[in-house]
Amino acid sequence: MEPITYEPIGEIRSPFEDPSEVPVDPDEPSGAAGRVELEPEYEPGLDGLDGFSHVTILAHLHRSPADALRAHPPFAEGLEVGVFATASPNRPNPIAQTVVRLEAIEGSTLHVDGLDLLDGTPVLDLKPFAPKPSLLEELETGWIGEHLDQEY
């Protein structure tokens, strides 16, 4: 296969400077406010996004070592699973997918809440968060649902 190259469309501005500061609780949003600052030429692409309450951010985890195929989820003590069964930032292609609350749009800047990305994280794409209702009815959360009540 040939390599794939993407150019960032913007970057994250968040209160998290170090990976150890980023919240990992899958059951609770981080509560961290911040911004998605897009390059000005992408502003027309935001038209219509203001009608959505949440936005999916696809980002490049620029500080991830990207070298593991197994992971130890922090909220599931003693459990080891394949990295593709987790949201671990340490994966073969360090791509993040996260959903945040959209508070406001000013020009090419999105003001968001619930960030779990480092300050300076390159943004690859944005999409409105609009899950298909039929999928929600069939949703199963695997090992995550079994460990949500654990303290960590």
> Residue 105 CB: number of other CB atoms within 10 A?
18
Domain total in the chain: 1
Mean of pLDDT over the chain: 85
Q: What is the pTM of this model?
A: 0.82
Q: Per-residue pLDDT averaged across 86-95, rounded?
A: 83
> Would you state the pLDDT for residue 143?
60
For the chain, the first-to-last Cα distance in angstroms comes to 40
86, 74 contact by CB (below 8 A): no
- In a domain, residue 2? The reply is no
Note whether 147 and 75 are within 8 A (CB). Answer: yes
- Whether residue 135 has pLDDT greater than 50: yes
Residue 132: which domain range?
10-147
Percent of the chain past pLDDT 90, that is, above it, reads 53
Nearest CA-CA partner of 38 in 109, 92, 97: 109
DSSP assignment, residue 41? G
Is 3 a domain residue? Answer: no
Q: Is residue 92 part of a domain?
A: yes
Quick check: is 5 in a domain? no
Is residue 4 a part of any domain in this protein? no
Of the listed ranges 28-32, 99-103, 108-112, the one predicted with least confidence: 28-32
Q: Is residue 16 part of a domain?
A: yes
Q: 81 in a domain, yes or no? A: yes
User: Is the backbone of residue 33 left (phi > 0), alpha (psi -120 to 50) or beta?
Assistant: beta
User: Is residue 121 a contact partner of residue 22, using CB atoms and an 8 Å limit?
Assistant: no
pLDDT of residue 64: 80
Q: How confident is the model at residue 152 (pLDDT cuts 50, 70, 90)?
A: very low
Which CATH number belongs to the domain containing residue 45 in this structure?
2.40.30.70
With respect to residue 152, please indicate whether it lies within any of the assigned structural domains: no
The secondary structure of 74-143 as a DSSP string is TTSTT--EEGGGS--S-SSS-EEEEEEEEEEEETTEEEEES--S-TTPEEEEEEE----HHHHHH---HH
